[in-house]
Amino acid sequence: MQRCALFLAVLLLAACAAPCSSDEAVDELSAAKAGVLERITKAATPQAEVDALGDEQALADLRAQLIAAKADALERAAEAAKLQAKVDVLEGEQTKIAKRLDGCQSKLSDAEEKVKETGDSTARALSNCIARAETCKSEVEASQEQLQKLKEQTGSCKADTASTAAALQKAKEQAASCQAEISNIENALETAKNQAASSDVALQQLTELASSCQSGAAGTEAALQKAKEQAASCKADVESTEAALQRVKDQQAAAQAEAAKLQAAVAKLRSDLSALEAEADAARKDAAAGHACKVSLKQVDLDLEAARAALREAEEALLPPRITRLARSASGRLADRFAELQASPVYGDAAARAAHLARTASARAADLASTVRREAGPVAAAALERSRELAAAARPHAEAALARGRELADAAAAHLRGARDELAALVDAKMREVPALAPYADPVVVQAIVYGVMGAPLLLLLPLLSALLGGPRRGGGAERGGAAGRKPAGKAAAGKAAAKRV
């Protein structure tokens, strides 16, 4: 009875070790089991023992079949280990990409903080420069007012000088007339002395007339001296006015030099701001690349989950979970039991027949596995086609985003042109307000100043913006196209890998 129980256990283990089971195989195994039980019931007779001895060949075949099943199970375990290794590699790549994404995000945050700090410092420096420019402007205006006053004083001094010169000329004329009168009087006196030497009255009258003429000449000389002193004082005032005018001119030149320095500082600040904006654009580009890696990583995770699901479905279709667990747990014990059964001279024939039945069941299981593969192949192909369709549907959205970026770039260029026109108008107005710069208020000079202030940084920024937001034939578009084209390629590779695993 122990031998019968052992033989029945061997048959059950052989049935469990088969790669797959079907209804016909179960029926045949049940029939074989019934035959074995019938033989066991007749095992008391010597004839039954003789029949049992004839089953050694079948038992040997069963052992070979069980060894083949064990080898198949080991091969499947090796395939599962390979799949697990690939899964580990993909998880490692996912970890690396996540680390790179974290690094890009930290770099972007640092760049944004740096840009913010530099922008604040630039704004403060620009406000200081504007305040200094306003101060210089107020000083220039005060100097201009003082110069105007000095000009007015100079004009009044010139008028006084002219009036004094006229009075001096008049006094000279009066002195000349007085001198002529004196000469005439002297001549008349001589004549009178010669003609009226005897007339005391006439002499007395002539003496009085001469004294009065001398007093008039003395008053005329005093007026002339006073006019000379007034002319000297006016000349001193004119010299002091010219010195003050020269000082005002020097102050205006210094103010213009200071304004040129301030313009140079503003240009330098604008160039620094342009460099910082270029660094911010590069950081944003790195962040966009990190976002693309994140999207690709998410797609790889989805493809990996799909591949795992397909693998589980294939394993469930090929081998039920219960049979797989039983085969793995009983493989070692089955080898030992089968070796003992081969050494037994009683159950050899029964083992051979059981091996034949196991071979038949294995062949049918192989047919069933090929059928499953044929049915799973179109499913994998359909999944691959679906992924390609999704990639094609996502491409128009990317092109629309690119068109939106171009529109924004055109709007920025229009805004830049408006700012340039406003700056040109402001420079023209300021130059016309300053008398020293009014002769140079020419459109060509104004445009040169505008290009000097803001043209060079913008000319450096426009190629950068064109490279970042350019068309599909430019460098930036080619990179974005390559990045967009790598996603469907990754999906196709994942779909091929899933189909290969199935």
Does 484 have pLDDT greater than 50? no
Averaged over 434-448, what is the pLDDT? 82
**pLDDT recorded at residue 429:** 87
- Does residue 500 surpass a pLDDT of 50? no
Sequence ranges of the domains in the chain: 2-259+318-501
pLDDT of residue 410: 82
Q: Which helix (H) or strand (E) holds 237?
A: helix 200-318
Q: For residue range 175-194, list pLDDT tens digits in order.
A: 566 566 666 666 665 665 56
Task: Express the helix, strand and coil content of the chain in percent, nearest 5 each.
Answer: 95, 0, 5
**Please, what is the end-to-end C-alpha distance for the chain in angstroms?**
46
> Which has the higher per-residue pLDDT, 430 or 284?
430
Q: What is the pLDDT of residues 353-378, one digit of tens each?
A: 655 666 676 677 667 667 766 766 67
Q: 309-337 burial, b if ≥16 CB within 10 A, otherwise e?
A: ebbeebeebbbeeebbebbeebbeebeeb
Which residue in 448, 129, 131 sits closest to 266, CA to CA?
Answer: 129
Residue 479 is predicted with a pLDDT of: 43
Higher pLDDT, 457 or 311: 457
- For the residues 38-43, what does the mean pLDDT come to? 55
At 152-177, the pLDDT tens digits run 766 665 665 666 566 566 656 765 66
Average per-residue pLDDT for the chain: 64
> pLDDT at position 431, please?
83
pLDDT of 75 above 70: yes
| 308 pLDDT tier (thresholds 50, 70, 90) | low
| C-alpha span between 120 and 230 (Å, rounded) | 63
Entry pTM:
0.23
The reported pLDDT for the residue numbered 297 is 54
What pLDDT sits at residue 433?
Answer: 87
Nearest Cα residue to 154 out of 243, 227, 249:
243
Give phi and psi for 197, each to the nearest 5.
-70, -25
Least confident of 21-30, 209-218, 276-285, 441-450: 21-30
| Mean pLDDT across 297-306 | 63
- Which of these ranges, 9-18, 117-126, 230-239, has the smallest mean pLDDT? 9-18
Q: pLDDT at residue 470 above 60? A: yes
Lowest mean pLDDT among 41-55, 109-123, 347-361: 41-55
CA 328, 334, 339: angle at the middle one, nearest 5?
150
Q: What is the mean pLDDT of residues 296-316?
A: 61
Residue 472 confidence (pLDDT) above 50: no
According to the model, what pLDDT value does residue 402 have? 73
Band of pLDDT at residue 423, cut at 50, 70 and 90: confident
Please check the confidence at residue 199 and state whether its pLDDT lies above 60.
no
What is the structure's pLDDT at 25? Answer: 47
pLDDT value of residue 101: 73
pLDDT for the residue numbered 45: 45
CA-CA distance, 301 to 304, in Å (whole number)? 5
Give the model's pLDDT for residue 272: 66
